[in-house]
A = this chain, B = another copy of it.
Amino acid sequence: MSNIVTLYHSGYGHTQHQAEAVHEGVRSVKGVTAQLIKVEDLESHWDDLDKADAIIFGAPTYMGSLSAKFKEFMEASSKRWYEQKWKDKYAAGFSNSQSLSGDKLNSLVQLTIFAAQHGMIWISLGQMPDASNSIGAKDHTNRVGSYLGAMAQSDPDSKAPSGGDLETARLLGVRVAEIVLKGN
């Protein structure tokens, strides 16, 4: 069995919806054990990260980069970094913010560099962007045209990202699971 953890932080619930969609995608692939962990619960789950074949990282973008709460996890992982314990594991990422761009690409780059510090292998989003005449329509997958990972945008008064953004997240979960299965 391949083992895939989705590890996330969510401040107001939007990124949690995105994380659950990723997790659902992972879970839908046969032969994979899926785990969904929030950084607040990490204390008892470091072992799960150590045993995972892939870790999918996600956090909201606040003021142009990953949330401080998620960054705390990144720093706590430095002991693993020092031993390169996660070397050659697969990694992928996602982020949510209130704007369409909202500098989320900077958060995905931050995650990619973090994963590289751990010697991990980065799986890109793998979805062509919406190329229709209704670019940005809320039910389209990858409506903003992201590539490194999954982006979601949540309206200020909404509780979750749009349906298309959640489907984008779900498909990232499926993709990671399928690549991990092929590689194991």
Contacts and interface: CB of A to CB of B under 8 A. Distances in A.
Interface of A: 62-69, 71-72, 74-75, 77-78, 81, 84, 87-88, 97-106, 109-110, 112-126, 128-131, 133, 135-136, 143-148, 151, 153, 155-157, 179, 182-183
A144 B183 contact: no
A100 B135 contact: yes
B62 A67 contact: no
Contacts of A147: 64, 103, 113, 116-117, 119
Contact of A110 (B106, B121, B122, B131): B106
Contacts of A75: 62-63, 67-68
Contact of A64 (B102, B110, B123): B110
Most buried by B among A65, A69, A101, A113: A101
A133 B157 CA distance: 8
B99 A130 contact: yes
A120 B63 CA distance: 13
Given A75-B68, A133-B155, A148 B99 contact: no
Contacts of A112: 109, 112, 122, 148
A179 to B, nearest CB: 7
A64 to B, nearest CB: 4
A130 to B, nearest CB: 7
Closest 3 A-B residue pairs measured CB to CB?
A99-B145, A116-B124, A68-B71
Contact of A179 (B71, B88, B133): B88
A113 B148 contact: yes
Contact of A143 (B97, B100, B122): B100
Given A100-B143, A114-B64, A84 B128 contact: yes
